[in-house]
């Protein structure tokens, strides 16, 4: 099975999460491609797609939206999962608000229903932002344990089964996620 982890990112934090998810899946024995969503022209030979993108000021990243528009039919025929980064905190209200924004974006795109959806906290690095946002306090609300749990359950949620060579639980060998 070939799994694609596609991502959209503005400042790199969603790419970090996507690469971590791809690494976990590879350690389990899956053939995984991890690439920017804007660079993917076709899904030939891909059995499942995991698409991740941030939500900024209530909007899902344009590259993720364009990916869904380009590949809507293929996504409807295969296994599909979505994750988003967004809230500045892990407060339940913030997470639910971001999930509502993601759900609205998927409905607006007439996206096929994902097998599983996750919302993770986002990152604010003022050094990468323009005025006046470069004056806000830095934060990193990514919960790497939650990301790890979601990624571990992806194959089952996507109906992938075990890889041909047998699933090996080597996750303990995975480098620690950035904090």
Average pLDDT in the 15-36 region?
Answer: 96
| Percent of all residues in the chain with a pLDDT value above 70, rounded to a whole number | 80
| ω into 110 cis (within 30 of 0) | no
* Selection from 78, 87, 156, 85 nearest residue 111 by Cα: 78
Residues constituting the chain: 179
Q: Are 81 and 49 in contact (CB under 8 A)?
A: yes
Average pLDDT in the 99-120 region?
Answer: 95
Average pLDDT in the 21-31 region?
Answer: 95
Whether residue 4 is predicted with pLDDT greater than 60 in this model: the reply is yes
Average pLDDT in the 88-110 region?
Answer: 90
pLDDT of residue 172: 41
pLDDT of residue 122: 76
| pTM assigned to the model | 0.84
Whether residue 53 is predicted with pLDDT greater than 90 in this model: the reply is yes
Q: DSSP assignment of the chain, as one string?
A: -EEEEEE--SSSHHHHHHHHHHHHHHHTT-EEEEEEGGG----TT-SEEEEEEEEETTEE-HHHHHHHHHHHHHHHHSEEEEEEE--SS--HHHHHHHHHHHHHHHHHTTPPPPSEEEEE--EE-GGGS-TTGGGSPPEE---HHHHHHHHHHHHHHHT----TT-----GGGSPPPP-
Calculate helix-pair angle for 13-27, 144-158, nearest 10 degrees. Answer: 50
Whether residue 92 is predicted with pLDDT greater than 80 in this model: the reply is yes
pLDDT of residue 31: 95
- Select the highest-mean-pLDDT range: 64-78, 82-96, 156-170: 64-78
pLDDT of residue 129: 54
Domains contained in the chain, CATH given: 2-162 (3.40.50.360)
Identify any residues that bridge with 139 across adjacent strands, giving them in sequence order.
124
């Amino acid at each position: 099975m070939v799994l694609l982890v596609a991502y959209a990112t503005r400042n790199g934090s969603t790419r970090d999460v996507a690469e971590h998810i791809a690494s976990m899946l590879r350690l389990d024995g899956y053939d995984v491609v991890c690439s920017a969503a804007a660079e993917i022209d076709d899904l030939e030979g891909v059995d499942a797609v995991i698409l991740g993108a941030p939500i900024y000021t209530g909007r899902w990243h344009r590259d993720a939206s364009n990916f869904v528009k380009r590949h809507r039919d293929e996504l409807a025929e295969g296994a599909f999962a979505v994750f988003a980064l967004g809230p500045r905190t892990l407060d339940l209200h913030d997470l639910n608000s971001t999930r509502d924004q993601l759900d609205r974006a998927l409905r607006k795109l007439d996206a096929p229903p994902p097998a599983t959806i996750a919302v993770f906290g986002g990152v604010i690095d003022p050094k990468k932002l323009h005025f006046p946002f470069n004056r806000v306090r830095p934060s990193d609300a990514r919960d790497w344990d939650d990301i790890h749990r979601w990624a571990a359950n992806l194959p089952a949620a996507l109906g992938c089964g075990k890889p041909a060579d047998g699933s090996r639980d080597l996750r303990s060998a995975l480098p620690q996620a950035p904090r």
